[in-house]
Structure 1
Amino acid sequence: MIGNIYVITAIAVIGGSLFGFDLSSMSAIIGTRQYNCYFNQGPHGPPFDDSPNCSGPRSDIQGGITASMPGGSFIGALLSGVLSDRLGRKSAIQVGSVIWIVGSIIICATQNIPMLMVGRFINGLSVGICSAQVPVYVAELAPPHRRGLVVGTQQWAITWGILIMFYLSYGCSFLDGNISFRLPWGLQMIPAILLFFGLLLLPESPRWLAGKDRWEDCHNVLALVHGKGDLNDTFVQVELQQLKETCDFERSNPSQSYLELFQPNMIWRTHIGVSVQIWSQLSGINVIMLYITYVFGMTGLSGNANLVASSISYVINMVVTIVALLYVDRVGRRFALIGGGISLTIWWFVCAGLMGSYGSPAPPGGLNNIAAVSWLITGAPSKAVIACSYLVVASFAPTWGPVSWIYPPELFPLRLRGKAVALATSSNWIFNFALSYFVPPAFVNIKWKTYIIFGVFSLAMTIHCFLCFPETSGKTLEEIEELFSGNTRAWRTGVAKNRLREMDTNDVELEGIKAPVHLENVSDKSKDS
């Protein structure tokens, strides 16, 4: 059994890469002639027309094709809470990997638009399960001072999935016929196979084991991951005792349904967990991630030049996310979210100003026969729009990207964590669904004003975060409970200093909270458990 938290994380977050694979498998392909001819609904259709003027699916249908994946993810995320609580975090993720393989087979063999949408919906079920439960799993295994790093790696895995699949799809675009999109759609099942078998080598979440009264297994996992196999390690003993006390308390509050998340003592943190996921979508990042070829098409780019320019945004996304992994536990969640929100607001409004001031409507039917490419901007302003699009990605990648996954698992008690994160993640996916469907028709109907909408959203989420989101960085999952029991204003909360190992034999300091612990008693209690 593997006990190194970084190896555990590297395997688990393959589940995050599935979302990236699915996202760029569509964004890299929707601009290709092969795809647009096979699924053509334009004047040279219906489908299987090899005319160079193929326009592909109508904008509303393309929105539906793209949105079918987040639609499935919404349902998968909600189901994941029940799966996770009953089967365990690890088993729930394995179920998700099997579902992904089934969906990928259907997509690879697709014969028409309805079949493609069904396959993407099934893939979405998998992404919903994995995106909700991978952060819970690694958060419950990670030591507090590394939690942001390892949970944030989920976002980094997503960026890797986007990047790998985009270049794979780009390479396949040079193939003739429908093999150009069937091949990458088939190859995307490989990471799910690796995830399923890799999880067999990993331990179960110690907090889930504790919730099932499997104390010996829980003790062994804590020792494996946090004590290098030493069952008598001081920190392991303290963690075990904290878990026991937490479980004893939660047994006196046995309700574990979704409804408890909306009770007075829990609804505030539920609103925060749901909001951070919703805002991550309303930031507009998926306009860039899903429809970058449309955005750059408006700047006059087409064909390979468009695909290459689009791929740069995915490289930026992957590289800049590393910054978040290095600093997010030091500077905290609030600094990242507020700073990212301010930056996103600036770049969206700059884009809107450039497009509105220097652009003009495209010919009827859109550029390159794609209706969603409905606006044209050229010259130096077009280059500025491309640069601002890259800056949107660079602003989101180290801030809202990883923190929106790190934050929700930190907010909730053990008995509700699986369901709470599932609910928060489902809110991400339902808004992803709505925006995936909304953007192509928006480009057709309100054109450059679409940018103003996302600028306003970015400003609103920055204000909301400042007023309502408390700092959780550096605090133990159990300690965060105390954060919500007081009346401290969100803007007065700060990062807890890391003093995990500054302890003596009778007095233990955990993340800045002193807890008197008699180690011999802890050991005795763990044996009794």
Structure 2
Amino acid sequence: MHKIGNIYFIAAIAVIGGALFGFDISSMSAIISTQPYLCTFNQLGTDENGLCRGPKADVQGGITAAMPGGSWLGALISGFLSDRFGRKMSIQIGAVIWVVGSVVVCASVNIPMLAVGRLVNGFSVGICSAQVPVYISELAPPTKRGRLVGFQQWAITWGILIMFFICYGSSFLKGTAAFRLPWGLQAIPAVLLYAGLMFLPESPRWLAKQDHWDQAKDVLVLVHGHGDPDSLLVKKEMEDIRAVVEFERANADVSYFELVKPKMLNRTVIGVFTQIWSQLTGMNVMMYYITYVFTMAGLADADGNAVLLPAGIQFIINVALTVPALLYIDIWGRRPTLLAGASLMCLFLSLTAALLALYSRPARPGEFPSASESMAISGAPAKAVIACTYLFVATFAATWGPVSWTYPSELFPLRVRGKAVALCTSANWAFNFALAYFVPPALVNIRWGTYVLFAGFCAVMGAHVWAMFPETANKTLEEVGRIFEGEGEGAIKYIGTPAWRTKNTRAKALESEGAVVQRDDAAAVSSGLETEKA
């Protein structure tokens, strides 16, 4: 079968796996405040107007958390799938599981069935969210790696946006079709993902690890050499991959235990906390429960539909503001992007907490459905809360959103990359699970203090990034490995230099690319390989 070698096309197909996560976020957040959903899964009876109040706050938290709970398990298992069957096939397995989960969710008639379906969907998302960044990072050139892996976050935002407006349109349908239609339609992207991957090459680094050297070279010729088997860039990359594979076979096992050994522990802690902090920003909580926030601000109507359009603006912002990060993430570097994001998100969360503390009042019994029953705010302060919410989303979209998927996939050597990124992603889903379950009761019990808590997390994560996260932008994956393993000129500089003094090497990378003798300058840029001056 003909394989497509355009790296942007490869990334565009692969990141549909990220879009699955976005579909799930919207298919829950846009539906949980609508009457068809609240009546079908009702536990609290009706209010004085005869409207269904839906599940209990902790039960709704459990329904929402079922997906990230399944994702945690799927992410852990994905490392074994990826090492055994390859990066591409592991993503295809995730796509098949997603279709199964979507069928169960669509057919749900009670809370246990809905939770099980979301658990299965989560298992799929865990596999795809862990292995899509690995797959892309092992195919992408260093000077474009951040942008290409960052497409995963952009795909998530598109998934959120598309499914949200599908849900909005479906909300005008009568009966359970209002939520069954979008829950059924979300199976379609997984079918496209599975089919599209059939036309894409496997990771050359995984092929080399399996001793399929000819196939690995064919992929490099297709993707980096533009069909030229004599490309100097392809030869250089094959030499680097061969040296790394032979070294790793002679010096290491490939168990999860290796990730906590002294030489690997620093990378593991950094990678795991990159994903943990991305959750503790509170962004996915905002996405899941944004309709609750707008309900508190007085935008809801009797059917729960009026909050959907203002919430949809947030998702448009999320898509649009991810674009600057995709364009400039490799220019800005990882550290400045993460530091700026943590600082601004801390500011907007603090402002939201202050506004709610000063101007909100306790909600009257039965005033709002389910977990929205905590606070009410109106007038100018309510508009300010909405503005802070939009600004918070814009900040996350341009900073932590794409970088949190890119950074862990750059940190680890080939022998453990699949398992290591799986472990990091599992940390993401473990905290996603905990927060999805925690937030509805928190909004009821500690109210505006919920925002204070997340603001505190943002402050701590900024300090952690500043002190411990080195810059990895514009280095080949093999070079990043040498930095952490204490070999080579770059490693010597890093060992003697604190993380806050590490620099983005983009200028050097571009200079080296330009020095490579190649017929096609565009091919030289796409390879992203540095060459040493004789």
Range class of TM-score, shorter chain:
over 0.9
CA contact (8 A) 1:107 1:116 kept: yes
Relative to structure 1, the CA distance from residue 371 to residue 273 in structure 2 (aligned partners, 3 Å threshold; closer, same or farther) is closer
Structure 1 runs not aligned, ≥5 long: 518-529
Residue 34 (1) aligns with residue 32 (2): no
SS of the counterpart of 2:174?
A: coil
Partners of 1:52 and 1:6 lie apart in 2 by 53
Superposed structure 1 runs of 4+ greater than 6 Å apart: 508-512
CA contact (8 A) 1:25 1:165 kept: yes
Residue 439 (1) aligns with residue 439 (2): yes
CA contact (8 A) 1:223 1:229 kept: yes
Deviation string, structure 1 residues 330-370 (Cα, Å, up to 9, x no partner): 010001100000000000000000000111111124x3233
Partners of 1:235 and 1:492 lie apart in 2 by 31
Of 2, 15, 24, 1:13 maps to 15
Matched residue, 2:478 = 478
Question: Shift in Å at residue 287 of structure 1?
Answer: 2.3
Partners of 2:186 and 2:465 lie apart in 1 by 36
Matched residue, 1:112 = 110
Deviation string, structure 1 residues 42-98 (Cα, Å, up to 9, x no partner): 1349xxxx9842000000000000000000000000000000000000000000000
TM-score (norm 1): 0.94
Kindly report which structure 2 residues correspond to 1:161-176, keeping only aligned pairs within 5 A, or say none.
161-176=159-174
Residue 329 (1) aligns with residue 346 (2): no
TM-score (norm 2): 0.93
Deviation string, structure 1 residues 416-471 (Cα, Å, up to 9, x no partner): 00000000000000000000000000011111111100000000000000000000
Residue 493 (1) aligns with residue 502 (2): yes
SS of the counterpart of 1:229?
A: coil
Kindly report which structure 2 residues correspond to 1:76-475, keeping only aligned pairs within 5 A, or say none.
76-302=74-300, 303-365=304-366, 367-475=367-475
Partners of 1:501 and 1:255 lie apart in 2 by 34
SS of the counterpart of 1:494?
A: coil
SS of the counterpart of 2:532?
A: strand
Question: Shift in Å at residue 23 of structure 1?
Answer: 0.8
CA contact (8 A) 1:282 1:457 kept: yes
Partners of 2:225 and 2:207 lie apart in 1 by 17
CA contact (8 A) 2:53 2:370 kept: yes
Question: Shift in Å at residue 126 of structure 1?
Answer: 0.2
Structure 2 runs not aligned, ≥5 long: 519-523
Deviation string, structure 1 residues 313-339 (Cα, Å, up to 9, x no partner): 100000000010000000100011000
Partners of 1:426 and 1:503 lie apart in 2 by 41
The one-letter amino acid of 2:458's match is S
Q: Percent identity?
A: 58
Question: Shift in Å at residue 482 of structure 1?
Answer: 2.4
Relative to structure 1, the CA distance from residue 404 to residue 371 in structure 2 (aligned partners, 3 Å threshold; closer, same or farther) is closer
Question: Shift in Å at residue 103 of structure 1?
Answer: 0.2
Deviation string, structure 1 residues 129-187 (Cα, Å, up to 9, x no partner): 00000000011001111101110000000000000000001100000000110010000
SS of the counterpart of 2:147?
A: helix
Partners of 2:329 and 2:533 lie apart in 1 by 29
CA contact (8 A) 1:496 1:512 kept: no
Which segment is superposed worse, 488-497 or 20-29?
A: 488-497
The one-letter amino acid of 1:79's match is I
The one-letter amino acid of 2:375's match is W
How many pairs are equivalent?
511
Deviation string, structure 1 residues 91-137 (Cα, Å, up to 9, x no partner): 00000000000000000111100000000000000000000000000
SS of the counterpart of 2:263?
A: coil
Question: Shift in Å at residue 234 of structure 1?
Answer: 1.1
SS of the counterpart of 1:344?
A: helix
Partners of 2:105 and 2:325 lie apart in 1 by 34
Relative to structure 1, the CA distance from residue 504 to residue 428 in structure 2 (aligned partners, 3 Å threshold; closer, same or farther) is closer
Question: Shift in Å at residue 489 of structure 1?
Answer: 1.2
